[in-house]
Amino acid sequence: MSSEFDYDLVIIGAGVGGHGAALHAVNYGLKTAIIEAADMGGTCVNRGCIPSKALLAASGRVRELRNAHHLKSLGIQVGNVEFDRQAIANHADNLVSKIQGDLTNSLKRLGVDIIRGWGKVAGTQKVSVTTDNGEKTITAQDIILCPGSVPFVPPGIEVDGKTVFTSDQGVKLESLPQWIAIIGSGYIGLEFSDIYTALGCEVTMIEALDVLMPGFDRDIAKLAERVLIAPRDIETKVGIYAKRIIPGSPVVIELADFQTKEDIEVLEVDACLVATGRIPATKNLGLDSVGVELDKRNFIPVNDSMAVLSDGEVVPHLWAIGDANGKMMLAHAASGQGIVAVDNILGKGKKVDYRSIPAAAFTHPEVSYVGLTETAAQELGLAEGFEIATSKSYFKGNSKALAENEADGIAKVIYRQDTGEVLGVHIFGLHASDLIHEASAAVANRQSVQKLAHLVHAHPTLSEVLDEAYKRAIAS
């Protein structure tokens, strides 16, 4: 590319989005730099996916080994199962260091310049970087913004990082409070309730909306509630919000009705995890220098090509990916968007197909989905003039799940009645986060249940749950 610039591409933010974009860019020979102000790897590697999955792996094993009833059904007996909280925390921490090192080395090895400092747009095709040694300006043919997100803490909630904390501190597992309140029943709240209950804590889950797991398909949420919440040491408060939280010992939580705002009760718990979503980290990015305004929720406005928009018009040579654009706040969505942005820099005319990007909650068992919920599919059908249908199959009819004696689970396929095209698939059950990818490929290729029902699945595998759902769809 052109040598009139210092770089072909400068990326602000070395989270998974920036990393994915950088690797793709150097594959195509772009001279690339990445600017990072804090931890290489961003949220996913340091405070998100990686440490939380390490904690879920260890705590899940404790739950499994302490489930005498389940083990006995398989003919196994174990003695007292003990664990060491600090050793579990170390497992997560060591994994973070390893993945952070691998990510940084992969960038270096491929010749990406890593610049440590705060990056800002400083006019068209210019970036200023503030480092310990002062400020410098570099030029780039194209700039990708990938500054990520931070936890959202609602007004009235005071976080001290010890007794009242967000997932940023939660992943460090510094304590195991006897009684912990979790504010929010989205995937972060659910995963932490899985970890805490497996390690013997009592949980009170507080959800402001009128249903638990509001982001999930209703059939999935209902079964997930029956398996992940009801039998565990979890009390739920729904339609109720934490109006005020005061850290200390005890932590004081003033609860009010979400609709009427009337005070309901005051809880005194040992600790509180605030898992009320995330907000974009889009302050002080210099966007005003190129006339870009953030949207109402402070996300960077982009189109499906990942180009940044100003008043609906594309700003040339400026792209934004990952959590900061709010399109789909997931690690793989961020890196997928990064690849699309680079492809478009190279003039390949790509768009992100959000419908085929899967999502998962790594509880025991897991929840996963891809595409539309039933409600969203119905709305689309109304708008575009088609009927939808659904087909369900159950893990209790699956030989592999029965062999494991873990047959709580469901797969639900939502499809167009006229063409059979799969619009969404939702799974709750053992290894749901792995099973979803077959459905994701089907949605990406806009395949029909008629076609999918004729694919042969290995027997006995959990994947036959989806096979069964497709077959039921064509039988109905």
Ligand X SMILES: Cc1cc2nc3c(=O)[nH]c(=O)nc-3n(C[C@H](O)[C@H](O)[C@H](O)COP(=O)(O)OP(=O)(O)OC[C@H]3O[C@@H](n4cnc5c(N)ncnc54)[C@H](O)[C@@H]3O)c2cc1C
Q: Give residues in contact with ligand X (CB under 6 A).
A: 12-18, 35-39, 42-44, 47-49, 52, 118-119, 146-149, 167, 171, 188, 281, 285, 322-324, 329-332, 334, 362
Peptide bond before residue 231 is cis, with ω within 30 degrees of 0: no
Contact criterion met (CB below 8 Å) for 370 and 354: no
* Residue 401 dihedral angles phi and psi, to the nearest 5°: -65, -40
What is the closest distance, in whole angstroms, from the C-beta atom of residue 37 to ligand X in the complex? 4
Q: b/e map of 423-436 (b: 16 or more CB within 10 Å)?
A: bbbbbbbbbbbebb
DSSP SS3 for 219:
helix
Output Rg (C-alpha) for the chain, integer angstroms.
24
| Residue (34 or 452) nearer to ligand X, CB | 34
Contacts of 255 (CB under 8 A, 6+ apart): 206, 237, 240, 241, 242, 243, 263, 264, 265, 266, 267
- Catalytic-residue membership of 459: yes
Residue 103: which of 6, 21, 7 has the closest Cα? 21
Half-sphere exposure of 56 (CA within 13 A, CB side): 20
What is the closest distance, in whole angstroms, from the C-beta atom of residue 5 to ligand X in the complex? 19
What is the closest distance, in whole angstroms, from the C-beta atom of residue 62 to ligand X in the complex? 19
Among the listed residues 24, 332, 437, 459, the single catalytic one is 459
| Residue (173 or 462) nearer to ligand X, CB | 173
| Residue (95 or 264) nearer to ligand X, CB | 95
| Residue (130 or 417) nearer to ligand X, CB | 130
Residue 469: which of 430, 425, 436 has the closest Cα? 425
What is the closest distance, in whole angstroms, from the C-beta atom of residue 97 to ligand X in the complex? 15
What is the closest distance, in whole angstroms, from the C-beta atom of residue 192 to ligand X in the complex? 8
Distances (CA, A) of 217 to 59, 377, 425, 427, 436: 26, 11, 9, 9, 14
Spatial separation of the C-alpha atoms in residues 418 and 449, rounded to whole Å: 11
| Residue (306 or 410) nearer to ligand X, CB | 306
Positions annotated as catalytic residues are: 459
